[in-house]
Amino acid sequence: MIPAGRSLRVIGDVHGDTKAFAIAADTEHFIIQLGDLVDDGPDTPGTLEIMFRLIDEQRGLFLLGNHEFKLLRALRGDAIQRSDRVEKTLSELSPELAARAGLEITRAPGWVASGKRFFVHGGFHPAMLVEPPPEFPSGRPDGLLARAIYGQTTGRVTGAGRPERVLNWVDDVPSGITLYCGHDRRSTDGRPLIKTGAKGGKAVFLDTGAGKGGHLSWIDLQA
């Protein structure tokens, strides 16, 4: 899925920040967007249009994020917990864009690797190194896909009523592997956060709050 020999631009969660995404997409690098294109920010339709143009031009791909997962389930009429932001996104999509979104989200991989680089939206499990990402499920995601799109949860909820997420999975990233992910806004200085796990592998967190009062971050990787 990633063209051999291409330099890469890895882009974190966009959440409808179309102006920033347009700047990030203006590159000769092949783009890997880490998921969560939609919801929260001012212009989800514009963000999707940019991403679909990149796909049509064979210049990029996006990974399945939890927000895309929920959007597709809403589009196909699944019984899900609706929220104001999901309703807002649904109301903004034209029928044509909704149909294209359904198609491309179905195709979006849960994770992808390129040499010693690994890309996933939410969290890692060692089995991902040997198992291909599954097809989009008819219901809830299985264990590996759930880890990929939701990260690692404890079963508890935070004071804000959201699932409590931990980063224990970073310790399972093998030495020599650098993993790039979004989902968790862990940075405290506006720059991507880099964590080294117990086995020597690294995780780079690229969600710096685009569409949620922060900004969009990306990293360029040479071939």
Q: What pLDDT score does 147 carry?
A: 97
| DSSP per position, the chain | -PPTT--EEEE---TT-HHHHHHHH-SSSEEEE-S--SSSSS-HHHHHHHHHHHHHTTSEEE---HHHHHHHHHHTT------HHHHHHHHH--HHHHHHHHHHHHH--SEEEETTEEEESS---GGGGTSPPPPPPSSS--HHHHHHHH-EEEEEE-TTSSEEEE-GGGGGSPTT-EEEE-SS---SSSS-EEEE-TTS-EEEE---BTTTTSB--EEEE--
**Residue 164's pLDDT is what?**
87
CATH class held by domain 8-221: alpha beta
pLDDT digit string (tens) for the chain, length 223 residues: 899 999 999 999 999 999 999 999 999 999 999 999 999 999 999 999 999 999 999 999 999 999 999 999 999 988 877 778 888 999 999 999 999 999 999 999 999 999 999 999 999 999 999 999 999 999 889 999 999 999 998 888 887 777 888 999 999 999 999 999 999 999 989 999 999 999 999 999 999 999 999 999 999 999 8
pLDDT at 52: 98
The pTM (predicted TM-score) of the whole model is: 0.95
Q: Delimit the domains of the chain by residue range.
A: 8-221
